[in-house]
Amino acid sequence: MALNWVWVGLLLCGMATAAVRAALGEVELFGTLLKALFDGARSGFEISLGLVGIMTLWLGLMRVGERAGMVQWLARAAHPLLARLFPGVPAGHPAQGAMTLNVSANLLGLDNAATPLGLSAMRELQSLNRESPGSASDAQIMFVVMNTAGLTLIPTSVIAIRQSVAVQQGLGAGFNAADIFLPTLIVTFVSLLAGVLAVAWYQRLPLLRPKPLLVLAGISALLAGVLAYFSRLPAEQAARITGSLGAACILAVVLAFVLLGAWRRVNLYDAFIDGAKEGFGVAVQIIPYLVAILAAIGVFRAAGCMDALLTVIGSAVAALGLDTEFLPALPVGLMKVLSGAGARGLMVDVMQAHGVDSFPARLAAIIQGSTETTFYVLAVYFGSVGVHNTRHALACALLADWVGILAAIGVAYLLWR
């Protein structure tokens, strides 16, 4: 029901705002809204169509991994942690292996690999959701919220954009485009932790116990070690190593699937084809969900509702006597919840307007690299398994988003103000 009210609210707010503005003389706005509605529908279809090839590939590879026993091995290795977060998923279930691969791909910033792996994990989790298949299970909610607040090691694409804009603005070799990676990692970790704790509180999961806390301490120590290493590297070298490491890890997993399957004398080609056949169906099933949410978001943006929301926030901040230097970057955070491409455009706009090395531009880059397109993820992941009732997933995901935005503002002020 949550997405239903969000969808209706976006459309009604956009159309009501357009009606008021048209009454004040901006009659051409109706044409703008209609174009935004159609553009959103086309974008939803094109995104879904673009997933066909990669979904076919990864579902085929996942079937190879399942028959070779590799996915089950990954599930057993990750069981100590996943058992706490997903108590309803049996030990060694294929869903655990798929979730492990998805989290690893997100950590390495491999979006193209993370999405099909995540959809595969949702399908495995849906196989356990027999009582009410139209309603999200606890495990599915936890998994989706973890994806909406996904932990990324280094935001390679954001660093590349900053470097490109820096060249355009004539900044010298002393400019470090990767100086945002440490604060970005901190912020995205805080966001992920907020989302997980919110779901855990709602589902009454026993996380505040010695073993889960020990695992959390281990992960924190690992991240600290990685940070200490990459913080000493130049920007281009850090981005290159991360990208190469991510690609190598995924290829290593594929190679392990194939070699283990060959050793166990599995018919790998038939296994791949068997899994790949499902790829087209999954991508097509997503189309109506994406068309619905992207069309509504397009109307909301085109009507000027986003600008009005920012004006209200800015007035409230100024009335409280707080520093308003962060406000130019705030649209990136608000837009990222709705549209990744839109947020990317706003980030570039902030960099060009204020300078790529300015405080607002740095903050915009941190927000872009540490937040996720929540409504897109909810629509795609739940739509892929036909779940209509998302229960508390949206509330927990939005909480993680807002914690992430506030953490980004706080970290930026601590480092650069």
State the Cα–Cα distance between residues 267 and 50, nearest whole angstrom: 29
Q: Are 186 and 407 in contact (CB under 8 A)?
A: yes
Residue 141's pLDDT is what?
93
State the Cα–Cα distance between residues 147 and 170, nearest whole angstrom: 37
Residue 22's pLDDT is what?
85
Residue 137's pLDDT is what?
92
Residue 116's pLDDT is what?
79
Residue 323's pLDDT is what?
78
The pair of three-digit structure tokens given for residue 321, joined into one six-digit string: 């006597």
Residue 40's pLDDT is what?
79
Q: What is the pTM of this model?
A: 0.72
Residue 327's pLDDT is what?
83
374, amino acid identity: T
Residue 396's pLDDT is what?
92
Low-confidence ranges of the chain (pLDDT < 50): 1
What 3-state class would DSSP assign to 371?
coil
